[in-house]
Amino acid sequence: MSKNFTRRTVLKAGLATAAMAGFTPSAFADDLPAKPEAGTLKMGLNPWLGYGQWHIAAKKDLFKAQGLEGVELVNFTTDADLNAALASGQLQCGNIATHTAMNFIAAGLPIKIVLLMDVSTTADAMISDGTVTDIKGLKGKQVALEEGTTSDILLNYALAQNGMTIADVQKVPMPAADAGSALIAGKVPVAVTYEPYLTLAKQQNANTKMIYSAGENPGLISDVLVVTDEFLKSKPGQIVALVKAWGAAVDDYRKDTAGGRAIISEAVGAKPDELTTAFDGVTYYSLAENKTELGGNFTTKVIPEVHKAARAAGILQADVDLSTAIDARFVDAASK
C-alpha cells in the first residue's frame, strides 16, 4: 500500500441491466461440503492493507488449520492484470473494491461476491485548507482528486447527499498522491484523497480540516472477496475454508492488533508506524459481522448507493444486475 494503491483504481465498463438488491439465498448453506476439496488455489490481491488478514492467515498457518493444502497469494499492480488473470482461469478468487466488482460483472466476468472484507471510515476523506467547512461550501470551488477512483465515488456521494451534483464544483484531476500537495501549496481549497496522503497533508498544514469521510456511510468504500463461477461450482468446500481462515485471522488481529499490523505492514512494504492512521481508518469484518451485513445493510442499502455514486462519477457506464452477485452461503456455512 505505501507505494501502491491500485485497488482504488477501477476499470470503466459497460453492459448489463438494472435490478439492484438481493443475494443468493443462504438457506442451502448446509449443502456445502464440511471439508475443503483437495488441491491448491491461487488468490489475487493488491498491496492494500485492507486485504491484510490473508497475510496473517498465511503467516500463522490459518489456511492449513482449515484443511487447505495450499493457498498462493498472487500480487498484482493493476486491476486490469488481476481481471485478466481471473478471466483466464489463472486465479480462482480475487480481492477487489466493491465498485470494481461491479465493473467486472458489467464486463461479463462470471464471478460472485462471497465475503465483505473491510470498509474505509477515515482512510478516504475530503479535506480543505480551512476555508471550506462543509459540503454545501463546495459550490463553485475547485476540488482536486484522481478521477475514476474511490475519491470520485466519495465526492459524488457527498454531493448527492447534500442535494448537489458534480456540476456544482470544479474538478481538478490529478493523481491522489498529488491532491494533498496541491491543497498545501494553495493551488486548490479542497482535495479528496486517502491515506497516507491525508496524514501527510495534516502534518504539513495545521489548518487542514476534514470535511467529509467514507465513515459517513461505512461500506461505500469497501473491499470484497470474489470467486469465479467455475471455482464456486467445482470446489465450494475450499471457499468455505477460505472464509473460515479470514474469520480466524480477524479474531487473531483483534486479540493482537500490534502483531497483526506488523505482519500486514511487512507484506505491503511499509513499517507499522507509517500506516498507523491508515489502519485506524479501516475496519475489518468478522464472520458474524459478515453474516449481518450480507443479509441486510450491505446488500440492500450500501450496494445500491455505491452503484449510484459510481454511475454519477462515470466510473460505471451502465446499470449492473447484482441480484445474484452476492452468495452469502459460504459465510453462513463458515459461521457454524
Q: How confident is the model at residue 178 (pLDDT cuts 50, 70, 90)?
A: very high
**And the C-alpha cell for 228?**
469465479
What is the pLDDT averaged over residues 234-257? 98
Is the Cβ–Cβ distance between 182 and 111 less than 8 Å?
Answer: no
Torsion of CA 298, 301, 302, 307, to 10 degrees: 130
Lowest mean pLDDT among 35-44, 105-114, 178-187, 232-241: 105-114
Is the Cβ–Cβ distance between 306 and 102 less than 8 Å?
Answer: yes
pLDDT at 24 over 80: no
What is the distance between the alpha carbons of residues 110 and 230, in angstroms, rounded to a whole number? 8
What is the pLDDT averaged over residues 195-218? 91
pTM: 0.85
- Nearest Cα to 256, choosing from 53, 18, 1, 43? 53
What is the per-residue pLDDT across 265-278, written as a single tens digit (0 to 9) for each? 999 888 888 889 88
Same fold, 6-120+219-334 and 124-216: yes
Q: What angle do CA 221, 224, 230 make, to 5 degrees?
A: 150
Is the Cβ–Cβ distance between 145 and 192 less than 8 Å?
Answer: yes
The strand order across the sheet containing 209-213 reads 170-173, 142-145, 190-194, 124-128, 209-213
Q: Would you state the CATH architecture of domain 124-216?
A: 3-Layer(aba) Sandwich (3.40)
Task: Calculate what percentage of the chain has a pLDDT beyond 90.
Answer: 60
What is the distance between the alpha carbons of residues 275 and 285, in angstroms, rounded to a whole number? 19
Q: How confident is the model at residue 8 (pLDDT cuts 50, 70, 90)?
A: low
Q: How confident is the model at residue 38 (pLDDT cuts 50, 70, 90)?
A: very high
- The pLDDT value recorded for residue 6 is 44
- State the residue for C-alpha cell 489502519: 279
What is the per-residue pLDDT across 51-78, written as a single tens digit (0 to 9) for each? 999 999 999 999 999 999 999 999 987 7
What is the distance between the alpha carbons of residues 124 and 102, in angstroms, rounded to a whole number? 20
What is the per-residue pLDDT across 88-125, written as a single tens digit (0 to 9) for each? 889 999 999 898 888 888 888 899 999 999 999 999 99
Q: How confident is the model at residue 314 (pLDDT cuts 50, 70, 90)?
A: confident
Averaged pLDDT of the chain: 88
Is the Cβ–Cβ distance between 13 and 103 less than 8 Å?
Answer: yes
- The pLDDT value recorded for residue 322 is 73
Distances in whole angstroms, Cα of residue 245 to Cα of each of 33, 68, 86, 102, 225: 16, 9, 21, 25, 13
End-to-end CA distance of the chain: 33
Domain boundaries defined on the chain: 6-120+219-334, 124-216
Task: Calculate what percentage of the chain has a pLDDT beyond 70.
Answer: 91
Q: Within 13 Å and on the Cβ side, how many CA atoms surround 279?
A: 21
- Burial class (CB within 10 angstroms; exposed 0-12, middle 13-18, buried 19+) of 74: middle
What is the per-residue pLDDT across 319-330, written as a single tens digit (0 to 9) for each? 887 767 899 999
Would you call 133 helix, strand, or coil by DSSP?
coil
- The pLDDT value recorded for residue 79 is 67
- The pLDDT value recorded for residue 28 is 67
Strand locations in 130-169, DSSP E? 142-145
**CATH 3.40.190.10 is held by the domain 6-120+219-334:** yes
